[in-house]
Chains A and B, each alone.
Chain A
Amino acid sequence: MGEKILMKGAEALGEAAIKAGCRFFFGYPITPQNEVPEYMSKRLPKEGGVFLQAESEVAAINMVYGAAGAGARVMTSSSSPGISLKMEGISYIAGAKLPCVIVNIVRGGPGLGGIQPAQSDYFQATKGGGHGDYRMIVLAPSSVQEMVDLMGDAFDLADLYRMPTMILGDGMLGQMMEPVEFKERKPIALPPKDWATTGKKGRGKQNIINSLFLIAEECEEHNFELKKRYNEIEKNEVKFESYNMEDADVAIIAYGTTARIVKTAIKRAESKGMKVGLIRPITLWPFPEKVIAAAAEKVKAFLTVEMSTGQMVEDVRLAVNGQKPVYFYGRTGGMVPSPEEMVAEVEKILG
């Protein structure tokens, strides 16, 4: 067991990435995630890696594209408006079947918005913010420790399925300090990167990284091949936490920072005699629809709480499929819902 150290979320992300073998980081500053590049700029050169502050987010994501194509473990991080700029590159990376990790420490939007925590990039992360028929694995930690643990998963999943993986946090997770432990990870079997452009070295065929398919039949074939791997991910990689669900009347669905506030709300609701549970998606894509559908047979109602005006609630409604009412409560633009507000919503539902 490693020693516990006190770390800011954003810095812990950086250290976890280095521990996961990330040696290349390309980024452009934006609040509230500046501690990630700052940390990487200090640590990466000492690890024989490369830290580069690009001239823009567009340049940074294309540097990620290049390094990923050469087979490196590479990461970029940004916050909402910066992630919008990276979307074209993310679509290309998905199209070229390349692994990389992208961190979005979400702030209020739209446009420049504000710098306080938000969850209003759920649609962008899970529904294809860039163009084309692609998916991205999206991991949503709710503590600094989980940010660290999921970073290892993010790189492994990216390599395993050859696709971009996103860690979706928010300003609060990025800024808060909590004790963390960097646990030894069991290495998993990963396919060799025999597609990487590392020089021909006597191989007969050139490796070419590309996302252009001008012949419709070939482009469709390419999309079907991607879809096959997305199906596999939906089958194998769903992650969630179930909390207090045994005899819950109301199931709250929330992720990230919001989910931990829900836990405080659940304790307060309990002291008022209400039975409330939490299903916390850890993977936002693939979405844990089965566990939510199963819960619909037992609970009276669902309440989705988000720091947005209602995005994940659409996936919850699809999973519940009309079996039970699905209510929504959200704060947005950098405002954070309080446990008291959540308890009041549950009281309204249970009438």
Chain B
Amino acid sequence: MAQEIILAGFGGQGIMLAGKLLTYTGMLEGKNVTWLPSYGPEMRGGTANCTVIISDEEIGSPIVTNPSVALVFNNPSLEKFEPLVKTGGTLIVNTSLVTIKSKRTDINIINIPANDIAIELGEVKITNMVMMGAFVAATKAVSFEGVMDALKKTLPAHRQNLLPLNEKALKKGSELV
């Protein structure tokens, strides 16, 4: 069983960080994992995406043409990755910023107003964790406890006070699935 996940948005939305956290969680849960960033002559505000694979078996290609899950944080990301999601796969859409409606009927589409929820929680930077909550609830690729555990291990000491906020964001995201 392998989940091939693409996270996409623009620079500054915490795409790479969310991808790394997911990869780290998979590793802590004993899975094989890879994280591959798109890299290129990009700038702040430009597009950013990364590919995460979480698998029970050895991972061959770290590149994914047709992801089983795509988390899209803005319109250009939906345009690029919505057509590529595998039949039967999952598309998680940040409807706070994505205004385009997906026309796919062969995939599971989950709409999350992630920015709005994050702002409600008092911190727009937590948008990525709201999306992550939806992802965990929809796919069960990793566990909530696992994500929290990974956060605890990766947040520096002076940021550990942000754990409860992250937990709230994860829960909020998951409740909407």
Interface set of A (CB-CB < 8 Å, partner B): 4, 6, 31-32, 115-116, 171-172, 175-179, 257, 260-265, 267, 336, 338-340
Contact = CB atoms under 8 A, between A and B. Distances in A.
Given A4-B27, A6-B24, A6-B27, A260 B60 contact: yes
B22 to A, nearest CB: 11
Contacts of A267: 60
Contact of B58 (A177, A263, A336, A339): A263
B74 to A, nearest CB: 22
Contact of A261 (B33, B35, B63): B63
Interface of B: 20, 23-24, 27, 32-37, 39-41, 58-63, 65
Contact of A340 (B27, B34, B60, B65): B65
Contacts of A340: 65
Contacts of B24: 6
Nearest to B40: A115
A261 B60 CA distance: 5
A179 B33 contact: yes
A267 B55 CA distance: 15
A179 B60 contact: no
B20 A175 contact: no
A260 B61 contact: yes
B60 A178 contact: no
Nearest to A340: B65
- The residue among A6, A115, A175 with the most chain B CB atoms within 10 A of its own CB is A6
A176 B58 contact: no
Contacts of B65: 338, 340
A176 B35 contact: yes
Nearest to B65: A338
Contacts of A262: 60
A115 B27 CA distance: 29
A172 B35 CA distance: 10
